[in-house]
Each structure stands twice: as C-alpha cells, then as structure tokens.
Chains A and B, each alone.
Chain A
Amino acid sequence: MARFLAKRVLYELLTLFLIVTATFFLIAGAPGDPIAAKVEQMPARAQAVIREKYGLDRPVMERYFAYMKNLLRGDFGESIVYTGRRVNDVIRENAPISARIGLMALALDLLIGILLGLMMALNRGKAIDHVMRVVVVLAICTPLFVSAALLQYYLAFKLKLAPIFGWGRPEHYIMPVLAMAIGGIATYAKYMRGSGLFVIGEDYIITAKAKGCDKGRILRKHVLRNSMIPIVTMTGPAIAGIFGGSFIIEKIFSIPGLGRYYVKAVGDSDYTMVLGLTVFFAVLYVASLILVDILYCVVDPRIRIPGTER
C-alpha cells in the first residue's frame, strides 16, 4: 500500500507542476499588454519603470524561472491592478472564509446525503422513496445559482429565517452553507441509494441475518461501511466542486471569499492575481486528490491487504 500511495503522490505532484507551468505560459502568452490599462496615462519613463517592476521587460523563460523560484519560497506575486496588494495577502485573508463554508457544506453533504440515501434504499418502492427521488432529481437538474437564489429568496427574504447576505456574524453562515450543500446532498443521496441497494443484495448481508444479527448491527457494521466506498471516491471531485461553487455562492451572498476575488481578478484581467490564485487552487486540488487516495486506502480494506482480488 505504501508503494501505491507513494507512486500516486509523486504522480500528483508532477501534475501540479505541469498545471502551474501550463497556466503560467498560457497567461504569459495571452494577447494584449497586461499593464496597458494601468499605464495608459503615464509618460514613457514611468511605463518603463512599471514594466520593469513586474518583470515584463524580460524574456518569458527568465520570468518563468523567477516565478517558480518565488513560488518555492511561498511568494505568489503581486497584483497588477491593485498596486501593493500581494496575492499572499489576498489568500491569507480570504481563503479561510471560503474554506470554512466549503468544509461545512461538505460535512452537511456527507452527513445528510449518506443518511438520506440509506433511508431511501431501505424504504425502496415506498412513497417516501419516490418523493425523495423526485426531489433529488430536481435538485441535481437545477444549476447552483438558481437553487441558491431561490433559497435566498424564500428562506431569507420571504420567511426571514436567516440574513439575506453579508458577513460577520455566525448567522451569516447559514444561507451560504445551506445553498452550497444542496447539490451535494442530492448527488450523495442518489449514489448512496444505488450503492446501498447493491450492498443489501449481497450474500454477506443474508449470511449476517441468518446468523441472527439484529438489523441495527447489520446496518452499521456491514451496509453502511460497504456502501460508503464509492462515495469516498466521489469526495475528491466534490472538493474540486467546492471551488466552483464558491465562485457562485460568494457572489450571491456577498461573502468576501477567495472565489469572489478570483472572479474579480478575471474580470479585471489582473493577470498576476489570476495566476497566483489559480496556482493556489491547483495546490489545494492536488492536495485533495492525495487525501482521497489515502482515504480510499483506509476505507477499502481490500486495497490494504495484498493478494485480495478486487
């Protein structure tokens, strides 16, 4: 298992390196002058100074190596549009906010999704199953900004259950986390239902029952743990989904998170900021992939024990 993991980690680090490199050259190669808007009004000499500051007067390869060197020291660069604003500061101030919302949403997703899916599997064919299936399908078919906007409209605006938008107090967490969790809950419930139904039909469940196991024990020790394996493999892409979702949620609920800054940077054509944040997201993404690989090894004992056929 250790060898398997080590290989995966190395592979994913290589992926990270290639992503950063590709992104750097893509952005460096973008048409137009990155500081054009900024230096429009300035005399030629000032332009030259600013150009030099951002290293834009040097050849691409030189800039690349300088950037990578800085990166290894943990320096993500400085914003072009907002002078003096370092990418590191932006990350430091806003990432925790996005992370908190994202993780809380993920926790909700897993908790409610898994339990809901299991409930649906156990009550297969009954009314509650059909109702929940319709709800789940609808939730999956609705784009995030629609369901978030609807939630905002009905729960916050009409029913006044939570603040509509804003940030600063604990209650401001409610709406964004809820909105972000909806899609995930539906997806996990759907897959958990399928996985649960499959596991329930397996021979070892019948064996356990025949041996006299009570229902609760069967559920906890056998059904739950075995149905969760495919769910775990979905968590990796789910973490990637947090980034995308955060763009939308933060915009709708006016939350000063990293996603919102990323969208702003893209809109401003703030190349260094975009590059820096992209690299940061890529690092997080690859870290989550590694985490999922480890989790997968932990959850599925068949991987740990050599010689077990899958």
Chain B
Amino acid sequence: MSVDDIVLADDMFERVGVDQISSEHLEKPALTYWADVWRRFKENRLALFGLILLALIVATLFVGPALSGKDYQHIDSSIKNQRPSAEHWFGTDDMGRDIFTRVCYGGRASILIGLLCTAVMMVIGFALGALAGLRGGWVDNLIMRMAEFVGNLPYLIIVVILTMVMGRSLFALVFAMSLTSWVGTTRMVRGQILQLKEQDYVEAAKALGSDMWRIIMRHLLPNTLGIIMIQITMSVPGFIFGEAFLSYIGLGIRPPETSWGALASYGQEKLMFQPHMLFFPSLMIVLTTLSFHLIGDGLSDALDPKLRR
C-alpha cells in the first residue's frame, strides 16, 4: 500500500481550536541587559571563581581580626619570628606581632587605596570623557590635548615626586596616584560616548525634551557602565601594586598603618630567614590581583556582543 492509496475524509480530522494563552507563550524568558550579562558571567567558571575568591578575601579582611583575637600592633618580643602555628595562623614577625591580623589590617588599607584611586580616576575620566564626547569642538580638542600631554608624563616619577613633596598621608598617596591616571578612562569614555550619541534613542530623548543631564544619567552612563566596570577591575590591582611599590621605596603608607605592600617589602628584607613574612602578604596581593583579573576577563567576555549566546 502506498501513499497514493490514502483517502482523506473529513471525519478523520477534528478541530482543535486556537488557544490564545499558549500562543502568546514565550519560549525564552525576556531578560534585561544586565540580567543577560550576569547570566553569561555566571556560566564562565573562572570568572565566577574570581568573584567568589574576591568575596572571600574581603570577608576575611573584615572578620579576620575578630576571629584571631589578636591586636595588630601588640609587640611581644618573646614570641617573635615564629612560623605559622595554631596560635598564630600566619606566624609572627620580628617584633612578635601576629602576621595574620596585620595582613587583615594591611589588606583593608591596600584595597581602600585601590578603590579610592580608582574612584577618583573614574569620576575624572568619565566627566572629562563625557564632556569631550558630548560638546565636541574646542572643548573636545582641549581635553584631548591635555590627555595626550598628561599621558606622556612619566607616571612613576610624578608619583614619587608628589609623594615626596606632599608627605605620606592617605590623601597625598591617592592624589599622587590618581592625578595622571585618568587619561585612559577619558579616551575610552569619549570613544564610547561618540558612538552612543548617534544612536536613535538619544535623538528621541532630545526630541522629547530631555535636558543634557538627563540624557547623560539615564542613557549614556548606563551604557558606558560596561566598559567602565572592566576598567575598574583592571585599575584596582594596578593601584594596589602602585602603593606596594611606593612602600617598597619608602614612600608608602606611614606606620603604624600598614598595607600589603608595606608588609611585603618589610618581609622581603627578611626573606632568607623568615620567608613567611614575605609569603603571606604577597599571597594576598597575588590572589586579589588574580581575582580582579579573572572577573575582568569574565566581564569583558560577558559584555562582548560578538560572543552572544
């Protein structure tokens, strides 16, 4: 029997009808832009690991001293230079101070400096970049010339001179390190804004009567947030390194405050005999930098429209 032999009669078919509800049903839930970015980020195991690692580190910094019960400044020569033990998780330094607690306090300073410098850099960078991108003309020209000049300055030398002249307060450190750091951000923001302002929704907003401020805050800023976040993840560890470098040459944070950089440079001198003094602060720096690095990579992959899944 072949297909040609089939006779189709009306009673072989039954009317099913149209189900209005289920025909409107969406197969894939609609996601907002950020929900989609987060989903893609989460799928990246390395990036997720970085995020969790960073969260763990920050949590330890805050909770650590309470857990260990030690004072980071308490000097006790009788227990100096001890290796890690149950009593002193990271050992003690050459003045008998508990290294674990010092690393926790130092971490707070290091990360705080990193965040502050990045924040200043972002604010200046975004403001100048947006200004240049939006106004165009001589404003754009002026800002770009300034950026070129400042970008050509030898960063290290500027930081060293400024710190030497301004003293070693937290303000001086942050000021010195962020003063010339805004150039890259400005260029990036300006590029992004130049792209964005040609978009239709900006034109629509203008037609509807939005003032410049509203356009910036509601349309341009959220869309620039992606690359800004990536820049942040690259910058924070950079500033932590910068402060570590300054501590190493003697210009970093002033005692009794300490930072990972200060601890590590102090430990480096004693490396041959007390390696644990260098090991733990360095480990924290490496882990923190690594986590930022992984998060940054993950973010840039999650935000990349060409990798859309």
Which stretch from B22-30, B124-132, B209-217, B241-249 is at the chain A interface? B241-249
CA distance A263 to B156 in the complex (A): 12
Asked if A145 contacts B164 (CB within 8 A), the reply is no
Chain A residues with CB under 8 A of B271: 149, 152-153
Tell me if B175 is interfacial: C-beta within 8 Å of chain A.
Answer: no
Bound: A29/B162 CA distance, A? 11
Q: Is there an interface contact between A244 and B286, defined as CB atoms closer than 8 Å? A: no
The answer to whether A281 and B157 have CB atoms under 8 Å apart is yes
Residue numbers in A under 8 Å from B154 (CB-CB): 19, 240, 243, 281-282, 285
Chain B residues near A266: list those with CB within 8 A.
Answer: 160, 164, 249-251
Question: What is the distance, in angstroms, from B138's C-beta to the closest C-beta of chain A?
Answer: 19
Q: Which B281-309 residues have C-beta < 8 A from chain A? A: 282, 285-286, 289-290, 293
Give the chain B neighbours of A240 by CB distance below 8 A.
Answer: 154-156
Partner of A19, one of B153, B156, B282, B289: B153
Are B290 and A137 in contact, with the CB atoms below 8 A? yes
A69-77, A111-119, A222-230, A246-254: which lies at the interface: A246-254
- Which A residues are CB-close (under 8 A) to B264? 143, 145-146
| B245 CB, nearest partner CB in chain A, Å | 7
CB-based contact B152/A143 at 8 Å:
no
Q: Does A274 contact B (CB under 8 A)?
A: yes
Q: CB of A88 within 8 A of chain B?
A: no
A220 to chain B, nearest CB (A): 30
Q: Does B268 make an interface contact (CB < 8 A)?
A: yes
Distance between Cα atoms of A70 and B66 in the complex (Å)? 59
* Size bracket of the B interface: 35 or more
Interface of A is mostly: helix
- CB-CB under 8 A from A144, the residues of chain B are 245
Q: Is B208 interfacial (CB 8 A cutoff)? A: no
Q: What is the bound-complex CA distance between A152 and B275, given in angstroms?
A: 12
Known pairs A140-B293, A285-B154; A146 contacts B278 (CB<8 A)? yes
Residue in A closest to B153 when the chains form the complex, CB atoms:
A19
For residue A49, which residues in chain B have a CB less than 8 angstroms away from its CB?
A: none
The tally of CB-CB contacts under 8 A between chains A and B is 105
Interface contact A15-B268, CB-CB below 8 Å = no
- Contact code string B148-184 (vs A, CB < 8 Å = 1, else 0): 1100111111001110110000000000000000000
Least CB distance, B275 to chain A, in whole angstroms: 7
Question: Could you say which residues of chain B place their CB within 8 Å of the CB of A157?
Answer: 272
A23 touches B161 (CB 8 A): yes
B90 to chain A, nearest CB (A): 16
A143 and B241 form a contact (CB under 8 A): yes
A94 within 8 A of B: no
Which residues does chain A contribute within 8 Å of B241, judged by CB atoms?
143
B133 at the interface (CB under 8 A from A): no
What is the CB-to-nearest-CB distance from A309 to chain B, in angstroms, rounded to a whole number?
Answer: 19
Determine whether the beta carbon of B286 is less than 8 Å from that of A146: yes
CB of A12 within 8 A of chain B? yes
Residue of B nearest to A148 (CB): B268
A274 touches B249 (CB 8 A): no
Select which of A11, A142, A247, A286 is within 8 A of B282 by beta carbon.
A142
Q: Mark A263-300, 1 if CB is under 8 A from B, else 0.
A: 10011010000100010011001100100000000000
Do A30 and B164 touch across chains, with their CB atoms under 8 A apart? yes
Which B residues touch A208, using CB under 8 A?
A: none
Q: Which of A141, A278, A282 has the most CB of B within 10 A?
A: A141
User: What's the Cα separation between A31 and B249 when bound, in Å?
Assistant: 21
Give chain A residues whose Cβ lies under 8 Å from the Cβ of B148: 11
Q: A27 interface residue, CB < 8 Å from B?
A: yes
Decide if B250 touches A141 in the complex (CB within 8 Å).
no
Tell me if A26 is interfacial: C-beta within 8 Å of chain B. yes
Cβ of B91 under 8 Å from chain A: no
Contact across chains for B268 and A146 when beta carbons are under 8 A apart:
yes
Q: How far is the CA of A137 from the CA of B165 in the complex (A)?
A: 35
Distance in angstroms between the alpha carbons of A23 and B148 in the assembled complex? 19
30 contacts between A and B (CB under 8 A): A11-B148, A15-B152, A18-B149, A19-B154, A26-B165, A141-B237, A141-B293, A142-B285, A143-B241, A143-B264, A144-B245, A145-B244, A145-B268, A146-B268, A146-B282, A146-B285, A146-B286, A149-B278, A153-B271, A153-B272, A240-B154, A244-B156, A244-B245, A247-B249, A263-B249, A266-B160, A274-B161, A278-B160, A285-B154, A285-B157
Can you list the 5 inter-chain pairs with the closest CB atoms, starting with the nearest? A141-B289, A146-B282, A30-B165, A285-B154, A244-B156
